[in-house]
Amino acid sequence: MKKLGLNIFMSCVLITAISCEKSLDKSPYNAISDAVAFSTADRCLLALNGVYDAAQSSPYTDGSVRGYPFGAANIEQGDARGEDVINIAAFFQITYQATYNATTANNVGHWGALYALINKANISIDGFKTAADNSVLTQEVASQYQAECRFLRAMAHHEALTLFARPYADGNGSKLGVPYRDFAIASSSAADQIKETPRGTVAEAYQKVLADLDFAETNLPASVSPSTVRATKAAAIALKMRVKLHMGDWAGVIAEGAKLVPAGAGPYVSPIGAWALTDSPDGAFTDNSSKESIFSIRNHELDNTGVNGALPSMFGPANSGARGLLAISPIIFNDTRWLEDDKRRSLLTVSGTNSNGGTTFNYFTKKYTSYTNRADFAPQIRYAEVLLTLAEAEARQASGVSERALNLLNAVRDRALEDPATQSFKASDFAGKNDLIAAILFERRVEFLCEGKRWGDIHRNALDPDFNVGGIPAKYQNASQGASIYGFGVPINASQAAIPYSDFKFIWPIPANEVIQNPVIEQNPNY
């Protein structure tokens, strides 16, 4: 009997010994190993969507989703840095009042999210190349996917340049740029490699942005499904126009614009992708994938940028279920150049309560209205921008009042006018070319109100003798509210003083932990 006991024990040992190997041979169920992530064409497409996802929602500093960099944050931050919105509560206060420092979450989060997108794009570029080499993808599809990644990479670097670097106009691009990442970092040795890549100059970075966009233009198709939320040839060209506008390269903008805007007085339809203005000024917002929406970042009720990031949450009035945090400022609202009967006032603004309580009042944008599902796409490039960008370049390039510029400006503005026949601009309305340029710049503020484009215009024109707004412009005091501050032509009271271009706060600091971890990066002065 005792022997039996021993036998039982020995068999136990034997059984467990046999099961050993299996007991340690585990693999993850929640994630796909990198060895097989690009092993089928379907997975390659999934990986490409993953790069777009990084554009929509890379982790914020605390790991949460707040729409950094392009799912919402670039728009909110771009407006909060300008004067055409009012920060209502404390949410955007640091950006709004320019009290940021090198550890402020907003700018740290934006920087981190931009480069998270860039690295995912770079890793996927390598993956698509390998997939093509292994005949998993055709060369054509692999090139298209790579072009989409390079489009996003260019867009991210350009965003970083407008926030963390001085404009191109300052010393013709000779100021400190941002590090341009064009290789994948998928191991610790690759991460060490970047410690040998300094910031470089603004001009160097712009050259690389343009190289990426040239590649994108060549390899992207004219149309793609689903439309709007993936990059196309027209999106690459349009982004190139924006980049060249920032460089002050008017001829370059015009050359690119010719690819998307036919000659003549309009209506304009792009020969590439058939992009055109919608009939109504709110057309691009009532339909996320309108014929005007060249490129937007996708949000959906199942995957959006969350209550602490989503465009409808931040820009919408509290009485509609939004948070009422960024209101329209009287600085733009009361401006008589924005005609009182302009349809954009009635269609795209709404009065409502703000985050400060039931009786508090502001005007808000109505561009993002998916207050429950937060499914509004984050618009990045509309055909209206193509037209106004081209208009500005034409106006600046011309010696007098450019008729082409006038036509392009009217194409955008007229659709919002109550009576275009009488209200439309005529050449005689402008004493000289600067008046026309000013009108185009003002039109951009109205047309792109609450689309985050304000900071780009302030930044690129900061040294323009005629069109600068004195650095970070004077603004309404934080949390300004009440019906009395609004009204067509009502005097404005921008009591929060401007911060001059020369002030160090004009550009954001490089995040403190970047400076600590990256020995070759140089902090912006005085941070």
Partner 1 sequence: MKKNVLLLLAMLLFGLGASYAQSRTVTGTVTSSEDGSPLPGVSVMIKGTARGAQTGADGTYRLEGLSGSEVLVFQYLGFNSKEESVGSKSVINVTLRMSESFLDELVVVGYGTQQKTAFTGSASKVDVKQISNLMTASIDKQLSGRATGVQVTNSGGLVNSPARILIRGINSLTQGTGPLIVVDGIPMISGNLAAVGNSNALGDINPADIESMDILKDGSATAIYGSRAANGVILITTKRGSKGSAKVTYEGFLGFSNPVKKFDLLNAEEFVTISNEKFTNAGQTPRASLNPGVDTDWQAEALINNAPVHSHTLSVQGGNDKTTYYLSLNYSDQKGVIISNFNKAYRVRANLNHDVNKWLKMGNNITISRQENGDQNNGANSLSGAIASALRMLPNVSPYNPNHPSGFNINYPNGNSMDPGTNTTSVDDNFTNVAFTTRNNKFRSDLYRIINNTFLEVSPLANLKVRSQFSFDLFNDYSYQGYSPLHGDGYGTATGGTNGLVYNASQNIIRYAWQNYANYNFSFDNSHNFFLTAGHEIQQDRTKWHAAQGTNISDVFFINENLISGTASVQGISGSISESGFESLFGRINYDFKNKYFLQASVRRDGQSSLAPHTRYGVFPGFSAGWRPSQESFWSASEFLNRWIPEAKIKASYAKVGNSLGGFPYLSTYGARPYGNLSGIAVSTIGNPDLRWETSVKYDVGVELGIFENRFSLTADYFVNDVNDLVYNVPTPLSAGVPGNSIAQNIATLQNKGVELMLEGLIMRKKDFSWNFNVNYSNVKNKITSLYSIGGEPVEFIQNGSYNIIQVGEPMNILHGNIWAGVNSANGNPMYYKADGTLIQQNFDRSATGKSIGAYYESTSTSSGEMGAATSLTFEDRKKLGQSTPTWFGSFTNNFGYKGFGLEVMLRYSGGNHIMNYTRQEALLSQNFHNNGKEILDRWTTPGQITDVPKLYYGQGNNINQTQTANSRFVEKGDYLRLQNIVLSYSLNPSLLTKTAFSSVRLFVQGQNLAVWTPYTGVDPDNISSLGLDQAVSPQVRTISFGVGLGL
Q: Considering beta carbons, is residue 389 or 524 the nearer one to partner 1?
A: 524
Assess 56 for contact with partner 1 (CB under 8 A).
yes
Q: Considering beta carbons, is residue 422 or 502 the nearer one to partner 1?
A: 502
Residues 306-325 that bind partner 1 (CB under 8 A): 307, 312-313, 316, 318-324
Residues 471-490 that bind partner 1 (CB under 8 A): 477-479, 481
- Give least dist CB 179 to partner 1, A: 5
Report the candidate in 199, 233, 228 with the shortest Cα–Cα distance to residue 216. 233
- Give least dist CB 513 to partner 1, A: 6
| Total site size for partner 1, rule CB under 8 A | 121
Residues 212-231 that bind partner 1 (CB under 8 A): 226, 229
- Give least dist CB 503 to partner 1, A: 7
Q: Considering beta carbons, is residue 55 or 241 the nearer one to partner 1?
A: 55
Assess contact for 384 and 277: CB atoms under 8 A: yes
Site map (CB under 8 A) of partner 1, residues 254-273, x = contact: --------------------
CA distances for 108 relative to 60, 114, 462, 485, 514, angstroms: 8, 10, 24, 34, 9
Q: Considering beta carbons, is residue 248 or 324 the nearer one to partner 1?
A: 324
Token pair in block for residue 176:
């400190």
CA triplet 237, 281, 412: central angle to 5 degrees? Answer: 55
Assess contact for 164 and 510: CB atoms under 8 A: yes
Judged by CB under 8 A, the residue of 34, 140, 419, 522 near partner 1 is 34
Token pair in block for residue 358:
């039931």
Instruction: Spell out the SS3 assignment of 390-430.
Output: HHHHHHHHCCCCCHHHHHHHHHHHHCCCCCHHHHCCCHHHC
Residues 348-377 that bind partner 1 (CB under 8 A): 353, 355-358, 360, 371-373
Residues 68-127 that bind partner 1 (CB under 8 A): 89-91, 93-94, 97, 99, 101-105, 108, 111-112, 115-120, 122-123
Assess 33 for contact with partner 1 (CB under 8 A).
yes
For 169: left if phi > 0, alpha if psi spans -120 to 50, otherwise beta; the answer is alpha
- Give least dist CB 199 to partner 1, A: 10
Site map (CB under 8 A) of partner 1, residues 156-195, x = contact: ----------------------xx-x---xxxx--xx-xx
Assess 502 for contact with partner 1 (CB under 8 A).
no
Assess 152 for contact with partner 1 (CB under 8 A).
no
Report the candidate in 202, 149, 213, 151 with the shortest Cα–Cα distance to residue 180. 202
Cβ density class 477-491: b for 16+ within 10 Å, e for less: eebbbeeebbeeeee
Q: Pick the piece of the chain touching partner 1 (CB under 8 A) from 74-82, 278-286, 331-339, 508-516.
A: 508-516
Q: Considering beta carbons, is residue 34 or 403 the nearer one to partner 1?
A: 34
Distance CA 163, CA 178 (A): 10
Token pair in block for residue 243:
């980049």
Distance CA 94, CA 106 (A): 8
Judged by CB under 8 A, the residue of 302, 336, 399, 428 near partner 1 is 302
The residues, any chain, with a CB within 8 Å of residue 428's CB and separated by 6 or more, are none
Token pair in block for residue 454:
């304000």
- Give least dist CB 510 to partner 1, A: 9
For 231: left if phi > 0, alpha if psi spans -120 to 50, otherwise beta; the answer is beta
- Give least dist CB 132 to partner 1, A: 19
Distance from the first to the final alpha carbon of the chain: 82
Q: Considering beta carbons, is residue 99 or 172 the nearer one to partner 1?
A: 99
CA torsion, points 13, 14, 16, 19, in degrees to nearest 10?
170
Residues 409-468 that bind partner 1 (CB under 8 A): none
Assess contact for 277 and 387: CB atoms under 8 A: yes
Site map (CB under 8 A) of partner 1, residues 5-24, x = contact: xx-xx--xx--xx-xx--xx
